[in-house]
A and B are shown apart, each in its own frame.
Chain A
Amino acid sequence: MTALEMRDVRKVYQSGADQIVALDHATVTVGDDEILALVGPSGSGKTTLLSIAGGLLSPTEGSVVVGGQEITRYSPRQLTEFRRTAVGFVFQSVNLVPFLTARENLLVVAEFGGRDGRRARERAERLLGELGLSDRMGNLPGQLSGGERQRVAIGRALMNEPALVLIDEPTSALDTRMGEQVMELIVAEVKGRGTAAVIVTHDVRMTHYADRTVQITDGHLAA
Protein backbone atom coordinates (compact mmCIF):
# COMPACT_ATOMS: atom_id res chain seq x y z
CA MET A 1 0.00 0.00 0.00
CA THR A 2 1.09 3.58 -0.66
CA ALA A 3 1.26 6.01 2.22
CA LEU A 4 1.52 9.07 -0.01
CA GLU A 5 0.72 9.50 -3.67
CA MET A 6 1.02 12.92 -5.28
CA ARG A 7 0.20 13.05 -8.95
CA ASP A 8 0.89 16.02 -11.19
CA VAL A 9 0.47 18.46 -8.33
CA ARG A 10 0.78 22.17 -9.01
CA LYS A 11 0.65 25.00 -6.52
CA VAL A 12 0.39 28.48 -7.94
CA TYR A 13 0.25 31.67 -5.87
CA GLN A 14 -1.15 34.89 -7.25
CA SER A 15 0.86 38.00 -6.40
CA GLY A 16 -0.90 40.94 -7.97
CA ALA A 17 -0.66 40.37 -11.72
CA ASP A 18 2.13 37.81 -11.31
CA GLN A 19 1.86 34.10 -10.75
CA ILE A 20 4.35 32.28 -8.58
CA VAL A 21 4.63 28.56 -9.28
CA ALA A 22 5.77 27.01 -5.99
CA LEU A 23 5.29 23.43 -7.17
CA ASP A 24 5.11 22.38 -10.78
CA HIS A 25 3.72 19.01 -11.92
CA ALA A 26 5.09 17.19 -8.89
CA THR A 27 4.58 13.46 -8.90
CA VAL A 28 5.91 11.30 -6.07
CA THR A 29 4.87 8.21 -4.14
CA VAL A 30 5.98 7.00 -0.74
CA GLY A 31 5.24 3.43 0.26
CA ASP A 32 4.29 2.18 3.69
CA ASP A 33 7.33 1.84 5.90
CA GLU A 34 9.42 3.97 3.52
CA ILE A 35 11.45 7.02 4.44
CA LEU A 36 11.84 9.61 1.70
CA ALA A 37 14.32 12.45 1.99
CA LEU A 38 13.39 15.61 0.11
CA VAL A 39 16.42 17.76 -0.54
CA GLY A 40 16.67 21.17 -2.08
CA PRO A 41 17.81 24.75 -1.48
CA SER A 42 15.71 27.41 0.19
CA GLY A 43 12.71 28.39 -1.90
CA SER A 44 12.76 25.21 -3.93
CA GLY A 45 9.25 24.15 -2.91
CA LYS A 46 10.08 21.61 -0.17
CA THR A 47 7.83 23.30 2.39
CA THR A 48 5.02 23.65 -0.13
CA LEU A 49 5.16 19.96 -0.96
CA LEU A 50 5.22 19.04 2.72
CA SER A 51 2.28 21.35 3.45
CA ILE A 52 0.20 19.87 0.63
CA ALA A 53 0.99 16.31 1.72
CA GLY A 54 -0.04 17.22 5.26
CA GLY A 55 -3.33 18.84 4.30
CA LEU A 56 -2.16 22.31 5.32
CA LEU A 57 -2.42 23.62 1.78
CA SER A 58 -4.63 22.58 -1.10
CA PRO A 59 -3.03 22.13 -4.54
CA THR A 60 -4.05 24.27 -7.47
CA GLU A 61 -4.04 21.16 -9.68
CA GLY A 62 -3.37 17.49 -9.31
CA SER A 63 -4.32 14.87 -6.78
CA VAL A 64 -3.06 13.93 -3.33
CA VAL A 65 -3.82 10.62 -1.65
CA VAL A 66 -2.58 9.95 1.88
CA GLY A 67 -3.20 6.68 3.65
CA GLY A 68 -5.88 5.86 1.12
CA GLN A 69 -7.67 9.23 1.54
CA GLU A 70 -8.07 11.48 -1.49
CA ILE A 71 -7.63 14.84 0.23
CA THR A 72 -7.34 17.10 -2.79
CA ARG A 73 -10.83 18.56 -2.48
CA TYR A 74 -11.34 18.15 1.25
CA SER A 75 -13.14 20.94 3.09
CA PRO A 76 -11.29 22.73 5.92
CA ARG A 77 -13.22 20.67 8.46
CA GLN A 78 -12.30 17.44 6.69
CA LEU A 79 -8.68 18.50 6.52
CA THR A 80 -8.67 19.20 10.26
CA GLU A 81 -9.98 15.69 10.94
CA PHE A 82 -7.45 14.30 8.44
CA ARG A 83 -4.57 15.99 10.24
CA ARG A 84 -5.77 14.55 13.55
CA THR A 85 -5.71 10.99 12.35
CA ALA A 86 -3.65 10.38 9.23
CA VAL A 87 -0.54 12.56 9.49
CA GLY A 88 1.93 13.65 12.11
CA PHE A 89 4.19 16.69 11.97
CA VAL A 90 7.63 17.35 13.37
CA PHE A 91 8.25 21.06 12.92
CA GLN A 92 11.58 22.70 12.32
CA SER A 93 11.23 24.77 15.50
CA VAL A 94 9.88 21.77 17.43
CA ASN A 95 7.01 24.02 18.62
CA LEU A 96 6.01 22.24 21.79
CA VAL A 97 3.36 23.98 23.89
CA PRO A 98 5.52 25.65 26.58
CA PHE A 99 3.11 25.26 29.51
CA LEU A 100 2.36 21.57 28.88
CA THR A 101 4.53 18.77 30.19
CA ALA A 102 6.12 16.29 27.81
CA ARG A 103 3.26 13.85 28.44
CA GLU A 104 0.64 16.54 27.94
CA ASN A 105 2.22 17.67 24.67
CA LEU A 106 1.50 14.18 23.35
CA LEU A 107 -1.94 13.94 24.95
CA VAL A 108 -3.09 17.22 23.43
CA VAL A 109 -3.19 15.53 20.02
CA ALA A 110 -5.59 12.91 21.38
CA GLU A 111 -7.64 15.59 23.16
CA PHE A 112 -8.36 17.38 19.89
CA GLY A 113 -9.89 14.17 18.60
CA GLY A 114 -11.82 13.56 21.79
CA ARG A 115 -9.73 10.50 22.58
CA ASP A 116 -7.93 11.58 25.73
CA GLY A 117 -8.84 8.77 28.10
CA ARG A 118 -6.80 6.10 29.80
CA ARG A 119 -5.70 4.46 26.55
CA ALA A 120 -4.32 7.75 25.26
CA ARG A 121 -2.37 8.29 28.49
CA GLU A 122 -0.95 4.79 28.32
CA ARG A 123 0.09 5.29 24.70
CA ALA A 124 1.72 8.64 25.44
CA GLU A 125 3.70 7.16 28.32
CA ARG A 126 4.72 4.15 26.25
CA LEU A 127 5.92 6.37 23.40
CA LEU A 128 7.89 8.59 25.73
CA GLY A 129 9.40 5.49 27.31
CA GLU A 130 10.52 4.22 23.88
CA LEU A 131 12.00 7.64 23.21
CA GLY A 132 14.07 7.43 26.37
CA LEU A 133 12.02 10.03 28.28
CA SER A 134 10.39 7.88 30.97
CA ASP A 135 11.77 10.05 33.75
CA ARG A 136 11.06 13.32 31.93
CA MET A 137 7.35 12.93 31.24
CA GLY A 138 6.35 15.47 33.84
CA ASN A 139 8.85 18.10 32.73
CA LEU A 140 7.94 21.25 30.86
CA PRO A 141 9.74 21.94 27.56
CA GLY A 142 11.80 24.61 29.25
CA GLN A 143 13.20 21.92 31.54
CA LEU A 144 14.30 19.68 28.64
CA SER A 145 17.39 19.77 26.47
CA GLY A 146 17.14 20.49 22.74
CA GLY A 147 17.46 16.81 21.90
CA GLU A 148 14.83 15.85 24.47
CA ARG A 149 12.41 18.41 23.07
CA GLN A 150 13.00 17.01 19.60
CA ARG A 151 12.16 13.53 20.90
CA VAL A 152 8.94 14.80 22.47
CA ALA A 153 8.04 16.33 19.09
CA ILE A 154 8.61 12.98 17.42
CA GLY A 155 6.41 11.31 20.02
CA ARG A 156 3.69 13.88 19.38
CA ALA A 157 3.85 13.18 15.66
CA LEU A 158 3.40 9.44 16.28
CA MET A 159 0.74 9.78 18.95
CA ASN A 160 -2.27 9.17 16.75
CA GLU A 161 -0.64 6.33 14.78
CA PRO A 162 -0.56 8.24 11.50
CA ALA A 163 0.00 6.71 8.09
CA LEU A 164 2.53 9.43 7.24
CA VAL A 165 4.91 11.54 9.31
CA LEU A 166 6.14 14.81 7.82
CA ILE A 167 9.38 16.08 9.27
CA ASP A 168 10.68 19.55 8.51
CA GLU A 169 14.42 20.12 8.90
CA PRO A 170 14.82 17.97 12.03
CA THR A 171 18.54 18.60 12.42
CA SER A 172 18.84 22.28 11.47
CA ALA A 173 19.22 23.46 15.06
CA LEU A 174 21.40 20.57 16.23
CA ASP A 175 25.08 19.79 16.04
CA THR A 176 26.25 16.91 13.83
CA ARG A 177 26.34 14.27 16.56
CA MET A 178 22.96 15.25 17.95
CA GLY A 179 21.54 15.45 14.43
CA GLU A 180 22.65 11.92 13.71
CA GLN A 181 21.13 10.70 16.95
CA VAL A 182 17.81 12.32 16.03
CA MET A 183 17.86 10.80 12.55
CA GLU A 184 18.59 7.37 14.00
CA LEU A 185 15.70 7.82 16.39
CA ILE A 186 13.36 8.86 13.60
CA VAL A 187 14.29 5.87 11.51
CA ALA A 188 13.88 3.49 14.44
CA GLU A 189 10.52 4.88 15.48
CA VAL A 190 9.08 5.20 11.99
CA LYS A 191 10.33 1.92 10.62
CA GLY A 192 9.25 0.00 13.67
CA ARG A 193 5.61 1.02 13.18
CA GLY A 194 5.13 0.59 9.46
CA THR A 195 4.67 4.32 9.14
CA ALA A 196 6.02 6.26 6.18
CA ALA A 197 7.96 9.49 6.54
CA VAL A 198 8.96 12.40 4.36
CA ILE A 199 11.93 14.26 5.74
CA VAL A 200 12.66 17.71 4.34
CA THR A 201 16.28 18.68 4.75
CA HIS A 202 18.89 20.82 3.09
CA ASP A 203 21.63 18.76 4.78
CA VAL A 204 22.74 16.16 2.26
CA ARG A 205 24.74 14.35 4.92
CA MET A 206 21.53 13.19 6.55
CA THR A 207 20.05 11.63 3.43
CA HIS A 208 21.74 8.28 3.94
CA TYR A 209 19.23 7.58 6.71
CA ALA A 210 16.44 7.59 4.13
CA ASP A 211 15.41 4.75 1.83
CA ARG A 212 15.24 7.16 -1.07
CA THR A 213 16.21 10.76 -1.79
CA VAL A 214 14.45 13.12 -4.17
CA GLN A 215 15.87 16.46 -5.24
CA ILE A 216 13.60 19.47 -5.69
CA THR A 217 14.61 22.63 -7.49
CA ASP A 218 12.41 25.60 -8.33
CA GLY A 219 9.27 23.57 -7.69
CA HIS A 220 10.35 20.65 -9.90
CA LEU A 221 11.07 17.18 -8.59
CA ALA A 222 14.04 15.48 -10.19
CA ALA A 223 13.08 12.36 -12.04
Chain B
Amino acid sequence: MKLAVRELVRKPGRFAVAGTALVVLTMLMLFLGGLLDGLYLGSTGVLRSQSAELLVFSSDARSSLVRSRISPEVRAEVAATPGVAAVSGLGVALVGGTVPGEQDVADIAVVGYEEPTDGIPAPPPSGEGWADRSLERSGVEPGDVLGLGPARVPVRVAGWVEDANYLQQGGLWVEPGTWREVLASARPDSTLAEGTFQALAVTVDPGADPEAVASAIDDATGGATGTLTRQAAVLSLPGIKEQNSTFASIIGVTAFVAGLVIALFFSLLTLERTGMYAVLKAIGASTRQIFTGVVVQAVAVAVISFVFGAVVVHLVSPVLVSALPFQLLPSRTATTLVLLVITAVIGSAVSLRRVVRIDPASAIG
Protein backbone atom coordinates (compact mmCIF):
# COMPACT_ATOMS: atom_id res chain seq x y z
CA MET B 1 0.00 0.00 0.00
CA LYS B 2 2.85 2.40 0.75
CA LEU B 3 4.07 1.79 -2.78
CA ALA B 4 0.72 2.85 -4.22
CA VAL B 5 0.53 5.97 -2.05
CA ARG B 6 4.07 7.00 -2.96
CA GLU B 7 3.26 6.76 -6.64
CA LEU B 8 0.18 8.93 -6.14
CA VAL B 9 2.19 11.55 -4.28
CA ARG B 10 5.20 11.58 -6.60
CA LYS B 11 3.52 11.02 -9.96
CA PRO B 12 0.13 12.75 -9.63
CA GLY B 13 0.19 13.73 -13.28
CA ARG B 14 -0.17 10.10 -14.26
CA PHE B 15 -3.66 10.13 -12.78
CA ALA B 16 -4.63 13.53 -14.16
CA VAL B 17 -6.77 12.29 -17.04
CA ALA B 18 -8.87 9.95 -14.92
CA GLY B 19 -9.00 12.53 -12.15
CA THR B 20 -10.25 15.26 -14.45
CA ALA B 21 -12.98 13.02 -15.82
CA LEU B 22 -14.04 12.12 -12.29
CA VAL B 23 -14.11 15.79 -11.24
CA VAL B 24 -16.53 16.51 -14.08
CA LEU B 25 -18.65 13.48 -13.24
CA THR B 26 -18.68 14.46 -9.57
CA MET B 27 -19.86 17.95 -10.48
CA LEU B 28 -22.59 16.44 -12.63
CA MET B 29 -23.75 14.09 -9.87
CA LEU B 30 -23.76 16.86 -7.26
CA PHE B 31 -25.50 19.26 -9.60
CA LEU B 32 -28.18 16.71 -10.42
CA GLY B 33 -28.50 15.76 -6.78
CA GLY B 34 -28.79 19.38 -5.72
CA LEU B 35 -31.40 20.00 -8.37
CA LEU B 36 -33.35 16.91 -7.32
CA ASP B 37 -33.23 17.91 -3.66
CA GLY B 38 -34.14 21.50 -4.50
CA LEU B 39 -37.12 20.39 -6.52
CA TYR B 40 -38.18 17.88 -3.88
CA LEU B 41 -37.78 20.20 -0.91
CA GLY B 42 -39.31 23.15 -2.71
CA SER B 43 -42.43 21.17 -3.55
CA THR B 44 -43.10 19.17 -0.43
CA GLY B 45 -42.49 21.44 2.56
CA VAL B 46 -46.16 21.83 3.44
CA LEU B 47 -46.59 18.08 3.91
CA ARG B 48 -43.14 17.28 5.30
CA SER B 49 -43.52 19.91 7.99
CA GLN B 50 -46.59 18.17 9.38
CA SER B 51 -45.81 16.46 12.67
CA ALA B 52 -48.88 14.27 12.22
CA GLU B 53 -48.26 10.74 10.98
CA LEU B 54 -51.22 10.57 8.60
CA LEU B 55 -52.88 12.77 6.01
CA VAL B 56 -56.51 12.19 5.10
CA PHE B 57 -57.86 13.14 1.66
CA SER B 58 -61.22 12.55 0.10
CA SER B 59 -61.15 9.26 -1.76
CA ASP B 60 -62.15 10.85 -5.09
CA ALA B 61 -59.24 13.32 -4.94
CA ARG B 62 -56.58 10.74 -5.79
CA SER B 63 -54.43 12.17 -2.98
CA SER B 64 -54.49 15.67 -4.46
CA LEU B 65 -54.65 18.41 -1.85
CA VAL B 66 -56.24 20.83 -4.28
CA ARG B 67 -59.00 18.44 -5.41
CA SER B 68 -59.76 17.01 -1.96
CA ARG B 69 -62.69 18.05 0.27
CA ILE B 70 -63.23 16.84 3.85
CA SER B 71 -66.53 17.90 5.40
CA PRO B 72 -67.06 18.40 9.14
CA GLU B 73 -69.13 15.18 9.23
CA VAL B 74 -66.30 13.12 7.75
CA ARG B 75 -63.89 14.87 10.08
CA ALA B 76 -65.99 13.75 13.05
CA GLU B 77 -65.85 10.16 11.83
CA VAL B 78 -62.09 10.41 11.47
CA ALA B 79 -61.69 11.88 14.94
CA ALA B 80 -63.77 9.06 16.41
CA THR B 81 -61.69 6.30 14.86
CA PRO B 82 -59.77 4.17 17.40
CA GLY B 83 -56.09 5.08 17.35
CA VAL B 84 -56.65 8.69 16.38
CA ALA B 85 -55.25 11.10 18.98
CA ALA B 86 -55.78 14.46 17.25
CA VAL B 87 -57.10 15.89 13.98
CA SER B 88 -56.38 19.28 12.42
CA GLY B 89 -57.47 20.79 9.14
CA LEU B 90 -55.17 21.72 6.26
CA GLY B 91 -55.67 23.41 2.92
CA VAL B 92 -53.77 25.29 0.24
CA ALA B 93 -54.54 27.89 -2.40
CA LEU B 94 -52.10 28.67 -5.21
CA VAL B 95 -52.28 32.35 -6.07
CA GLY B 96 -50.26 35.26 -7.32
CA GLY B 97 -49.50 37.98 -4.80
CA THR B 98 -48.41 41.57 -5.12
CA VAL B 99 -45.38 42.60 -3.10
CA PRO B 100 -44.81 46.22 -2.00
CA GLY B 101 -42.15 47.83 -4.13
CA GLU B 102 -41.98 44.96 -6.59
CA GLN B 103 -43.28 44.96 -10.14
CA ASP B 104 -43.54 41.19 -10.51
CA VAL B 105 -46.26 39.16 -8.86
CA ALA B 106 -44.93 36.47 -6.53
CA ASP B 107 -46.15 32.86 -6.77
CA ILE B 108 -47.53 32.05 -3.34
CA ALA B 109 -49.06 28.91 -1.79
CA VAL B 110 -51.44 30.15 0.89
CA VAL B 111 -51.65 27.40 3.51
CA GLY B 112 -54.55 27.32 5.91
CA TYR B 113 -53.85 25.35 9.07
CA GLU B 114 -55.15 24.96 12.59
CA GLU B 115 -52.34 23.62 14.74
CA PRO B 116 -48.62 24.43 15.04
CA THR B 117 -46.32 21.83 13.52
CA ASP B 118 -42.62 21.20 12.94
CA GLY B 119 -41.05 24.60 12.50
CA ILE B 120 -44.41 26.34 11.98
CA PRO B 121 -45.75 28.38 14.93
CA ALA B 122 -49.42 28.54 15.86
CA PRO B 123 -51.64 30.25 13.26
CA PRO B 124 -51.25 34.03 13.34
CA PRO B 125 -54.25 36.35 13.72
CA SER B 126 -56.62 36.80 10.81
CA GLY B 127 -55.04 38.83 8.03
CA GLU B 128 -51.48 37.83 8.94
CA GLY B 129 -49.22 35.03 7.77
CA TRP B 130 -45.85 33.29 8.32
CA ALA B 131 -43.86 33.51 5.07
CA ASP B 132 -41.45 30.87 3.83
CA ARG B 133 -37.93 32.27 3.54
CA SER B 134 -37.86 31.55 -0.21
CA LEU B 135 -40.27 34.49 -0.70
CA GLU B 136 -37.36 36.75 0.19
CA ARG B 137 -36.19 36.28 -3.40
CA SER B 138 -39.47 37.90 -4.53
CA GLY B 139 -38.74 40.94 -2.39
CA VAL B 140 -40.98 39.99 0.53
CA GLU B 141 -39.96 41.31 3.93
CA PRO B 142 -41.55 40.93 7.39
CA GLY B 143 -44.17 43.63 7.82
CA ASP B 144 -45.05 43.75 4.12
CA VAL B 145 -48.74 43.60 3.24
CA LEU B 146 -49.15 41.24 0.31
CA GLY B 147 -52.17 41.42 -2.02
CA LEU B 148 -53.26 37.82 -2.63
CA GLY B 149 -55.27 36.54 -5.57
CA PRO B 150 -57.36 38.51 -8.05
CA ALA B 151 -59.09 40.37 -5.24
CA ARG B 152 -55.77 41.30 -3.67
CA VAL B 153 -56.78 40.04 -0.24
CA PRO B 154 -54.41 41.83 2.14
CA VAL B 155 -52.23 39.65 4.37
CA ARG B 156 -49.40 41.07 6.49
CA VAL B 157 -46.17 39.07 6.76
CA ALA B 158 -45.68 38.39 10.48
CA GLY B 159 -42.32 36.65 10.16
CA TRP B 160 -40.33 33.85 8.49
CA VAL B 161 -40.60 30.12 8.51
CA GLU B 162 -38.23 27.72 6.79
CA ASP B 163 -38.71 24.82 4.35
CA ALA B 164 -42.46 25.36 4.08
CA ASN B 165 -43.18 25.49 0.35
CA TYR B 166 -45.68 23.78 -1.89
CA LEU B 167 -45.05 22.82 -5.55
CA GLN B 168 -42.21 25.36 -5.90
CA GLN B 169 -44.35 28.18 -4.58
CA GLY B 170 -43.38 30.01 -1.41
CA GLY B 171 -45.67 29.12 1.47
CA LEU B 172 -47.67 31.75 3.39
CA TRP B 173 -49.15 30.09 6.47
CA VAL B 174 -52.43 31.67 7.65
CA GLU B 175 -55.37 30.88 9.90
CA PRO B 176 -58.24 29.01 8.19
CA GLY B 177 -60.52 31.99 7.74
CA THR B 178 -57.91 33.98 5.83
CA TRP B 179 -57.17 30.96 3.70
CA ARG B 180 -60.83 30.47 2.83
CA GLU B 181 -61.14 34.12 1.88
CA VAL B 182 -58.16 33.89 -0.47
CA LEU B 183 -59.37 30.59 -1.94
CA ALA B 184 -62.83 32.00 -2.55
CA SER B 185 -61.46 35.09 -4.29
CA ALA B 186 -59.06 33.07 -6.46
CA ARG B 187 -61.42 30.25 -7.31
CA PRO B 188 -65.03 31.17 -6.67
CA ASP B 189 -66.10 27.73 -7.93
CA SER B 190 -63.96 26.18 -5.17
CA THR B 191 -65.46 28.08 -2.21
CA LEU B 192 -65.45 25.88 0.86
CA ALA B 193 -68.08 25.81 3.52
CA GLU B 194 -67.13 26.68 7.06
CA GLY B 195 -65.38 23.70 8.68
CA THR B 196 -64.48 22.06 5.39
CA PHE B 197 -60.83 21.49 4.68
CA GLN B 198 -58.94 19.94 1.82
CA ALA B 199 -57.13 17.49 4.07
CA LEU B 200 -56.79 16.46 7.68
CA ALA B 201 -53.52 15.97 9.54
CA VAL B 202 -54.01 13.07 11.93
CA THR B 203 -51.81 12.30 14.94
CA VAL B 204 -52.11 8.69 16.09
CA ASP B 205 -52.09 7.40 19.65
CA PRO B 206 -48.64 6.63 21.08
CA GLY B 207 -47.65 3.11 20.07
CA ALA B 208 -50.32 2.78 17.43
CA ASP B 209 -49.38 1.52 13.97
CA PRO B 210 -50.02 4.42 11.57
CA GLU B 211 -50.80 2.10 8.64
CA ALA B 212 -53.36 0.22 10.69
CA VAL B 213 -54.97 3.47 11.85
CA ALA B 214 -55.04 4.67 8.23
CA SER B 215 -57.01 1.58 7.20
CA ALA B 216 -59.32 2.02 10.16
CA ILE B 217 -60.05 5.63 9.20
CA ASP B 218 -60.99 4.72 5.64
CA ASP B 219 -63.19 1.91 6.96
CA ALA B 220 -64.82 4.24 9.49
CA THR B 221 -65.68 6.78 6.78
CA GLY B 222 -67.14 4.08 4.58
CA GLY B 223 -64.54 4.66 1.88
CA ALA B 224 -65.10 8.41 1.71
CA THR B 225 -61.46 9.00 2.53
CA GLY B 226 -58.08 7.89 1.26
CA THR B 227 -55.60 8.05 4.13
CA LEU B 228 -51.86 8.02 3.59
CA THR B 229 -48.81 8.15 5.78
CA ARG B 230 -47.04 11.46 5.64
CA GLN B 231 -44.23 10.10 3.44
CA ALA B 232 -46.70 8.44 1.07
CA ALA B 233 -48.59 11.70 0.81
CA VAL B 234 -45.37 13.51 -0.03
CA LEU B 235 -44.61 11.03 -2.79
CA SER B 236 -48.14 11.36 -4.16
CA LEU B 237 -47.68 15.05 -4.91
CA PRO B 238 -47.81 15.70 -8.67
CA GLY B 239 -44.59 14.73 -10.41
CA ILE B 240 -42.59 13.91 -7.28
CA LYS B 241 -42.26 10.17 -7.93
CA GLU B 242 -41.47 10.66 -11.59
CA GLN B 243 -38.99 13.40 -10.79
CA ASN B 244 -37.26 11.28 -8.15
CA SER B 245 -36.97 8.23 -10.38
CA THR B 246 -35.80 10.23 -13.40
CA PHE B 247 -33.08 12.06 -11.51
CA ALA B 248 -32.06 8.92 -9.63
CA SER B 249 -31.68 7.11 -12.96
CA ILE B 250 -29.53 9.86 -14.41
CA ILE B 251 -27.38 9.99 -11.27
CA GLY B 252 -27.07 6.19 -11.35
CA VAL B 253 -25.95 6.24 -14.98
CA THR B 254 -23.43 8.96 -14.18
CA ALA B 255 -22.03 6.85 -11.35
CA PHE B 256 -21.81 3.90 -13.73
CA VAL B 257 -19.86 6.03 -16.20
CA ALA B 258 -17.52 7.01 -13.36
CA GLY B 259 -16.97 3.32 -12.65
CA LEU B 260 -16.24 2.73 -16.33
CA VAL B 261 -13.69 5.55 -16.35
CA ILE B 262 -11.92 4.04 -13.36
CA ALA B 263 -12.09 0.52 -14.76
CA LEU B 264 -10.68 1.58 -18.12
CA PHE B 265 -7.97 3.79 -16.66
CA PHE B 266 -6.71 1.26 -14.15
CA SER B 267 -6.90 -1.57 -16.66
CA LEU B 268 -4.61 0.38 -18.95
CA LEU B 269 -2.37 1.33 -16.05
CA THR B 270 -2.10 -2.29 -14.96
CA LEU B 271 -1.26 -3.29 -18.52
CA GLU B 272 1.45 -0.65 -18.61
CA ARG B 273 2.82 -1.86 -15.30
CA THR B 274 2.90 -5.54 -16.12
CA GLY B 275 6.69 -5.55 -16.10
CA MET B 276 6.94 -3.73 -12.80
CA TYR B 277 4.33 -5.98 -11.18
CA ALA B 278 6.22 -9.06 -12.40
CA VAL B 279 9.36 -7.77 -10.70
CA LEU B 280 7.45 -6.98 -7.52
CA LYS B 281 5.98 -10.48 -7.49
CA ALA B 282 9.44 -11.92 -8.07
CA ILE B 283 10.85 -10.11 -5.03
CA GLY B 284 7.98 -11.19 -2.78
CA ALA B 285 4.84 -9.14 -3.40
CA SER B 286 1.63 -11.15 -3.24
CA THR B 287 -1.22 -10.66 -5.71
CA ARG B 288 -3.31 -9.38 -2.80
CA GLN B 289 -0.74 -6.71 -1.96
CA ILE B 290 -0.48 -5.54 -5.54
CA PHE B 291 -4.25 -5.47 -6.04
CA THR B 292 -4.75 -3.64 -2.74
CA GLY B 293 -2.44 -0.96 -4.08
CA VAL B 294 -4.59 -0.65 -7.21
CA VAL B 295 -7.75 -0.31 -5.12
CA VAL B 296 -6.13 2.26 -2.82
CA GLN B 297 -5.10 4.35 -5.81
CA ALA B 298 -8.56 4.11 -7.39
CA VAL B 299 -10.27 5.18 -4.16
CA ALA B 300 -7.76 7.97 -3.58
CA VAL B 301 -8.23 9.32 -7.10
CA ALA B 302 -12.01 9.14 -6.66
CA VAL B 303 -11.93 10.91 -3.29
CA ILE B 304 -9.54 13.64 -4.40
CA SER B 305 -11.55 14.21 -7.58
CA PHE B 306 -14.71 14.35 -5.49
CA VAL B 307 -13.20 17.04 -3.26
CA PHE B 308 -12.28 19.18 -6.27
CA GLY B 309 -15.68 18.67 -7.86
CA ALA B 310 -17.54 19.39 -4.63
CA VAL B 311 -15.54 22.58 -4.02
CA VAL B 312 -16.40 23.86 -7.49
CA VAL B 313 -20.09 23.08 -7.07
CA HIS B 314 -20.18 24.72 -3.64
CA LEU B 315 -18.52 27.84 -5.03
CA VAL B 316 -20.95 27.99 -7.95
CA SER B 317 -24.10 27.04 -6.00
CA PRO B 318 -24.95 30.57 -4.76
CA VAL B 319 -25.34 31.53 -8.41
CA LEU B 320 -27.32 28.37 -9.15
CA VAL B 321 -29.69 28.95 -6.23
CA SER B 322 -30.81 32.27 -7.60
CA ALA B 323 -31.74 30.79 -10.98
CA LEU B 324 -32.79 27.22 -10.16
CA PRO B 325 -34.44 25.25 -7.35
CA PHE B 326 -31.03 23.98 -6.21
CA GLN B 327 -30.13 22.81 -2.71
CA LEU B 328 -26.96 20.88 -2.00
CA LEU B 329 -27.53 19.01 1.24
CA PRO B 330 -24.74 17.50 3.38
CA SER B 331 -26.50 14.14 3.05
CA ARG B 332 -26.43 14.39 -0.75
CA THR B 333 -22.73 15.30 -0.69
CA ALA B 334 -21.97 12.35 1.61
CA THR B 335 -24.06 9.94 -0.46
CA THR B 336 -22.32 11.02 -3.64
CA LEU B 337 -18.90 10.46 -2.05
CA VAL B 338 -19.90 6.99 -0.87
CA LEU B 339 -21.28 6.14 -4.30
CA LEU B 340 -18.08 7.30 -5.96
CA VAL B 341 -15.92 5.27 -3.58
CA ILE B 342 -18.01 2.16 -4.23
CA THR B 343 -17.75 2.61 -7.99
CA ALA B 344 -13.99 3.13 -7.58
CA VAL B 345 -13.62 -0.17 -5.75
CA ILE B 346 -15.78 -2.00 -8.29
CA GLY B 347 -14.06 -0.31 -11.23
CA SER B 348 -10.61 -1.21 -9.94
CA ALA B 349 -11.71 -4.83 -9.48
CA VAL B 350 -11.67 -5.12 -13.28
CA SER B 351 -7.86 -5.12 -13.00
CA LEU B 352 -7.81 -8.04 -10.58
CA ARG B 353 -7.79 -10.74 -13.23
CA ARG B 354 -4.91 -9.12 -15.04
CA VAL B 355 -2.93 -8.72 -11.80
CA VAL B 356 -3.53 -12.37 -10.91
CA ARG B 357 -2.26 -13.54 -14.30
CA ILE B 358 1.00 -11.61 -14.19
CA ASP B 359 3.79 -14.22 -14.13
CA PRO B 360 6.76 -13.30 -11.91
CA ALA B 361 8.98 -15.48 -14.06
CA SER B 362 8.64 -12.89 -16.82
CA ALA B 363 10.79 -10.56 -14.69
CA ILE B 364 13.81 -12.65 -15.66
CA GLY B 365 15.14 -12.89 -19.17
A residues with CB within 8 A of B: 47, 50-51, 54, 56-57, 77, 80-81, 83-85, 88-89, 91-92, 95, 97, 99-100, 104, 108-109, 111-113, 116, 156, 160, 168
Contacts and interface: CB of A to CB of B under 8 A. Distances in A.
Contacts of A89: 282-283, 363-364
Interface string B281-293: 1111110010000
- Name the residue in A92, A111, A156 with the highest tally of chain B Cβ atoms < 10 Å from its Cβ: A111
Interface residues of B, number: 22
B27 to A, nearest CB: 30
Given A95-B279, A100-B3, A111-B2, 10 more contacts: A56-B360, A56-B364, A80-B286, A83-B360, A84-B284, A91-B279, A91-B363, A95-B276, A109-B283, A112-B285
Interface string B344-363: 00000000000000001101
28 contacts: A50-B364, A51-B364, A56-B282, A56-B360, A56-B363, A77-B286, A80-B284, A81-B284, A84-B283, A84-B284, A85-B284, A89-B363, A91-B282, A92-B364, A95-B276, A97-B276, A99-B10, A99-B11, A100-B3, A100-B6, A108-B280, A109-B283, A111-B2, A112-B283, A112-B284, A112-B285, A116-B2, A168-B365
B325 interface: no
B18 to A, nearest CB: 17
A51 B364 CA distance: 7
Contacts of B364: 47, 50-51, 54, 56, 89, 91-92, 168
Nearest to B276: A97
Nearest to B279: A95
A56 B278 CA distance: 10
Chain B interface main SS type: helix
Interface string B1-23: 01100110011000000000000
The 10 A-B residue pairs with the shortest CB-CB distance in the complex, in nearest-first order: A84-B284, A56-B361, A47-B365, A112-B284, A95-B279, A99-B10, A83-B284, A51-B361, A112-B285, A99-B7
B282 to A, nearest CB: 6
Contacts of B286: 77, 80, 112
Contacts of A84: 283-284
A95 B2 CA distance: 18
A179 B1 CA distance: 35
B124 interface: no
Nearest to B284: A84
A199 B363 CA distance: 16
A116 B3 CA distance: 12
B38 interface: no
A53 to B, nearest CB: 11
Nearest to A112: B284
Interface in B251-297: 275-276, 279-286, 289
A177 B7 CA distance: 35
A87 B173 CA distance: 80
A100 B285 CA distance: 16
A97 B7 CA distance: 10
B11 to A, nearest CB: 5
A91 B279 CA distance: 9
A92 B365 contact: yes
A43 B185 CA distance: 99
Contacts of A116: 2
